[in-house]
Structure 1
């Protein structure tokens, strides 16, 4: 019995197996050796690879959002401002990785608030599950963005951006132009001064965590530039007045369109530039391209009788007539080269002032034929026809003056009453501003000036003043534009009614024009009004464009605090003008 117990105890005694211990120790040493070797390899021999992999997953370059510069009028009123909005985009990979389509009710809510079809919206995200960026909507309001954020759809994100807003709407639409969805100017002043208005965002390198939060800022990659604001020469008060009166006239006369330009005679600054028909730049769903054209600088027309004061100036400068000369226009028509030039009636003997007051084609033709054609063309060129105004406005036309070696007498006559050459509304206003500035031609500016440019003398000061006083008779009793008369502010102006050219001649459509300067005793503003194709019997410049001129000029002078003259002084000036027209 004792022998068996001793034998059992001997059997249970553990025995050490040396080769197994060696194997275990070997693998343990091998494991730790491998770890040490790998660590040494990563940290000493090739540390850049994993660092690069880490940086690829965590380093990002962020940029700050830069708003486009403001556009204001000369008094600081906002004309164009950028407002913060949001872009909605999807990361399809995140959507699929998180089973984002499990709750379609959220997607229907998203489609509803974006005014999109839910199937189309979902299809754009499902189109390529590996894509990382798909725009769903641009320029949504902060309120809509907040609602979308509350939907908490995985893979749907918000991105800050800006949208251009125009407080004055259609009143300044063609002048200012618009920006595209990326806030880049594509029309008007927005396009012309795009580089000036656009800033450069600052770029910064940061390290982000897995959930997208910035955990470390590593430094500035690129310093940004702030956008510049733009101060226009426009006076928004005058702009609103001009647009209201032009729109009223074009609608009342069923005209195709029209334009008005108001210039400061002393500086050449544009105080107003309006066009009809216009459009609302803040709502572009039904935008029509023909409404976007700034007709005041792009559309050209034959000026008709509005050119006659400059024929008179050319004749006076050439010395072919003197201030008090009499010109015979009997019997009210004349034959030139087998064709007729006629007046509405036989005015008989006419003073120079009466030729302008009654707009005599016969009288002005005789003056044009009495001087070399180069004298007349030279005067036209000198006052700005056939050249750009200096406004730097997009799409500006220089107009056309025909260049010929041989001019027939009839062609020379038609040049004197505004046919055979074309100009823009801006050029017409600039020409009359030159008269008001005693013959000094100044470049036109759409930007507010700190000091007026010197300008260039193109007409003798005495001649310019004399023509101005002659033109006062146009708006006084017996003139062709008594509807352009303004109580308290003597006006020097001229009507124009020109037929529109068609293939092979002229049709039955008209341009109705009026251009003038006021007040005559101390010229401050020059205004040109052009109405395109008025319908009905009322198509003459004096009755279509004249009233627009009077209301805009009167209101603008009052806004600028230009003091009216007394009734006695105006009567005295009117008598002087009447005397020139007798």
Structure 2
């Protein structure tokens, strides 16, 4: 026979079970009603954003030899309000940074400032000794950051063509400027899932496959040919005491520019201290009289129009021809020359007679066809 106490206990047990299930049901309903808000809160706790930067693409010659690259450098700064002894700190940093200790002391003594640069874009090897000095307590209020720097390993080679970048890393001259959009650095944001210790454990958009560098710019320039062109130009300008000069080496079958040398050269790593007039790329930024190369225009026009052939004979007046009262001379007293010889010997008189045979309108037509009077697009 069940006692009264046992009945009470059984009833209490069943009531407790029912209350428990009612609480569970209420909790489930509560969670269900606030599912979106809870899911959002959960995602906020584990999701985040990670900023990353893709470096400016390097520039190489046709054989992959680097002409412009980005490297990591060290910049050191300080908060003068946290530097207790500017004199002692300056004496410790000066030998390391190779800067006059008095200049460092002056910056560290500016207690009205909370930020001063001590040096910028120095060799990354300085990082370790600075870290050791900070950790040991030798210096206080000094920090550093790693910054990118554009360098030009070949210094003055092809300097007028490559160009330069400004402090923001954007091209301001040469191919650095012309192809800036294709090789410039850019910043992007990655979505991440992180744990309580801010460790990344998943990328919701998939594993990132970002390159370290942007597109590489490969020039048609051949470094070896460029070296030879610049060396020969330097010798010629010094010999003739010329203030400037230029050499262009091209592949006549493809039009590829294999070398573009300018004199005087300058070190791209010292761009800021170079006079502006030296930075001028004479090959494409100055106007020159075409000279004897212009003889191909009337000669090719006459052949194209069927007026003359390469074997046609032209009398070159034995070296002197008066045209509208002005004497036209050849380098030698040429008599009869074929059209081929007129071009080979660069006869001024022969070329003049060919142009007159072609006529004014047709001559102008071929001048235009060769691109004279139009922008080159360079």
TM-score tier after normalising by the smaller chain length:
0.7 to 0.9
Unpaired segments of 5 or more residues in structure 1?
Answer: 1-59, 207-213, 391-395, 397-582
| 1:135 matched residue in structure 2 | 117
**Residues 377/236 of structure 1: CA separation in 2 closer, same or farther (3 Å cut):** same
| 1:105 matched residue in structure 2 | 88
- 2: CA distance, partners of 1:127 / 1:225: 43
Deviation at 1:170, TM superposition (A): 1.4
| 1:342 matched residue in structure 2 | 329
| 2:162 matched residue in structure 1 | 176
- 2: CA distance, partners of 1:354 / 1:274: 31
- 2: CA distance, partners of 1:144 / 1:73: 32
What are the superposed Cα offsets for residues 305-354 of structure 1, whole Å, 9 maximum, x if unpaired? Answer: 12112221112223333333222222532222232222244322222223
Using structure 2 for the length normalisation, give the TM-score. Answer: 0.74
Deviation at 1:203, TM superposition (A): 4.4
Q: CA RMSD in A?
A: 3.2
SS of residue matched to 2:64: coil
Note the 1:205-220 alignment, pairs <5 A.
216=198
Is 2:250–2:259's contact at 8 Å kept on the other side of the alignment? yes
| 1:77 matched residue in structure 2 | 65
Note the 1:135-534 alignment, pairs <5 A.
135-152=117-134, 153-203=139-189, 216=198, 226=211, 227-284=214-271, 286-390=273-377, 396=378
| Count of matched residue positions in the alignment of Structure 1 and Structure 2 | 320
Deviation at 1:301, TM superposition (A): 0.7
SS of residue matched to 2:67: strand
- 2: CA distance, partners of 1:284 / 1:365: 46
- 1: CA distance, partners of 2:348 / 2:239: 29
SS of residue matched to 1:327: strand
Is 1:85–1:140's contact at 8 Å kept on the other side of the alignment? yes
- 2: CA distance, partners of 1:334 / 1:243: 39
Unpaired segments of 5 or more residues in structure 2?
Answer: 1-47
- 2: CA distance, partners of 1:103 / 1:121: 8
SS of residue matched to 2:317: coil
Note the 1:84-123 alignment, pairs <5 A.
84-90=72-78, 92=79, 95-96=80-81, 98=82, 100-102=83-85, 104-123=87-106
- 2: CA distance, partners of 1:378 / 1:265: 23
- 1: CA distance, partners of 2:86 / 2:154: 44
Is 2:248–2:259's contact at 8 Å kept on the other side of the alignment? yes
Is 1:203–1:224's contact at 8 Å kept on the other side of the alignment? no
**Residues 204/103 of structure 1: CA separation in 2 closer, same or farther (3 Å cut):** farther
Is 1:199–1:228's contact at 8 Å kept on the other side of the alignment? no
Deviation at 1:69, TM superposition (A): 1.2
Using structure 1 for the length normalisation, give the TM-score. Answer: 0.49
**Residues 61/146 of structure 1: CA separation in 2 closer, same or farther (3 Å cut):** farther
Is 1:257–1:276's contact at 8 Å kept on the other side of the alignment? yes
- 2: CA distance, partners of 1:305 / 1:374: 21
- 1: CA distance, partners of 2:314 / 2:375: 35
Deviation at 1:159, TM superposition (A): 0.9
SS of residue matched to 2:298: helix
Is 2:60–2:217's contact at 8 Å kept on the other side of the alignment? yes
- 1: CA distance, partners of 2:227 / 2:332: 40
Is 2:161–2:175's contact at 8 Å kept on the other side of the alignment? yes
Deviation at 1:196, TM superposition (A): 1.7
- 2: CA distance, partners of 1:253 / 1:130: 56
What are the superposed Cα offsets for residues 203-241 of structure 1, whole Å, 9 maximum, x if unpaired? Answer: 4799xxxxxxx9536999x99964221122222222222
**Residues 85/114 of structure 1: CA separation in 2 closer, same or farther (3 Å cut):** same
- 2: CA distance, partners of 1:257 / 1:327: 38
Deviation at 1:278, TM superposition (A): 0.6
Is 2:86–2:105's contact at 8 Å kept on the other side of the alignment? no
**Residues 357/204 of structure 1: CA separation in 2 closer, same or farther (3 Å cut):** closer
Deviation at 1:146, TM superposition (A): 3.0
**Residues 134/184 of structure 1: CA separation in 2 closer, same or farther (3 Å cut):** farther
- 2: CA distance, partners of 1:73 / 1:345: 43
